[in-house]
């Protein structure tokens, strides 16, 4: 039998129907608020804690001490427990760093949560303002534009890697470089890069420089002009020496 990952086993709630089978003598013995924020309720049948659910779900589930532990109730509690586990896991993930909606959802699914629970958890965080793709994209684009010397396509690629949509990544990366002189940025990078290519033939230098600038996300025109400028400077330096 394959072992589940430690992440999955810590995250997913066990099926309460497996732990305490429904029966005529099975009743809910206690419902307790747990955790430092009191947002989680533990449901006990006899002496066994069968599930942890969102405290706000207790009324909807119709549970109180003495409620019969039926198969139907066990199923609804199980669904609520899995949804709550996904939400708590999502909170831990955003506590470790910025996440886009899609990245967060995919991490939850990979951890073993059902897609519906992952989507619901992310939606709750979006509604609470704790996950905001637009704000995240703008912050990242501004940071990349100011410090990484990337062209528009390079910034766009970095944003998409974070799970941000293509449309949003394209819009925000263009705005981040709206007032930047991308041609001069490319030229500066080419001048620095060409210093590492001493001894190579001219056509090899041109090919490598052009490929480097394209990979950094600069346009074909900016890359071509930057390579031409760098090659002209290299030729002048060689004439002087």
How do residues 18-61 score in pLDDT, each as one tens digit? Answer: 466 667 779 999 999 998 888 999 999 998 999 999 999 999 99
What's the pLDDT at 241?
A: 59
* Better-scored residue on pLDDT, 147 or 216: 216
Evaluate the CA torsion angle 43, 4, 7, 60 in order and state its sign: negative
Of 152, 194, 200, nearest to 175 (Cα)?
Answer: 152
Residue ranges per structural domain of the chain: 6-127, 133-176, 182-240
The CATH number of 6-127 is: 1.10.10.10
As a whole number of angstroms, the distance between CA 139 and CA 176 comes to 10
φ, ψ (nearest 5 deg) of residue 48: -100, 130
For residue 167, give the 3-state DSSP assignment: helix
- Tell me how far CA of residue 207 lies from CA of 30, 200, 225, in angstroms: 73, 11, 13
Give mean pLDDT, residues 154-165.
Answer: 95
Residues 6+ apart with CB under 8 A from 196: none
Of 68, 113, 66, 75, nearest to 93 (Cα)?
Answer: 113
Which helix (H) or strand (E) is 153 found in, with range?
helix 152-161
What are the DSSP E strand ranges found in the chain?
Answer: 28-34, 40-45, 48-54
pLDDT in tens, 124-140: 999 999 999 999 999 99
pLDDT in tens, 182-234: 999 999 999 999 988 878 899 999 999 999 999 999 999 999 999 999 998 88
What's the pLDDT at 2?
A: 42
Give mean pLDDT, residues 93-103.
Answer: 94
What percent helix, strand, coil does the chain show, rounded to 5?
Answer: 60, 10, 30
């Amino acid at each position: 039998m394959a072992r589940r990952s430690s992440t999955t086993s810590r995250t997913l709630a066990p099926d309460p129907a497996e732990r305490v089978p429904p029966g005529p003598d099975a009743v809910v013995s206690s419902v307790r608020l747990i955790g430092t924020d009191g947002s989680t309720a533990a449901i006990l049948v006899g002496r066994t804690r069968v599930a942890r659910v969102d405290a706000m779900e207790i009324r909807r589930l119709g549970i109180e001490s003495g409620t019969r532990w039926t198969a139907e109730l066990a199923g609804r509690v199980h669904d609520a427990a899995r949804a709550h586990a996904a939400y708590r896991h999502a909170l831990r993930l955003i506590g470790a760093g910025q996440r886009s909606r899609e990245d967060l959802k995919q991490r939850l699914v990979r951890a073993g949560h059902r897609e519906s629970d992952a989507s619901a958890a992310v939606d709750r965080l979006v509604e609470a303002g704790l996950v905001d793709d637009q704000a995240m994209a703008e912050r990242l684009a501004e940071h990349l534009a100011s410090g990484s010397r990337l062209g528009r396509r390079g910034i766009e690629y970095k944003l998409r890697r974070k799970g941000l949509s293509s449309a949003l990544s394209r819009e925000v990366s263009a705005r981040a470089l709206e007032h930047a002189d991308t041609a001069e940025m490319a030229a500066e990078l080419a001048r620095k890069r060409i210093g590492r290519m001493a001894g190579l033939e001219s056509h090899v230098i041109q090919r490598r420089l052009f490929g480097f600038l394209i990979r950094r996300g600069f346009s074909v025109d900016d890359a071509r002009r930057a390579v031409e400028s760098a090659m002209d400077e290299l030729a002048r330096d060689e004439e002087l020496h």
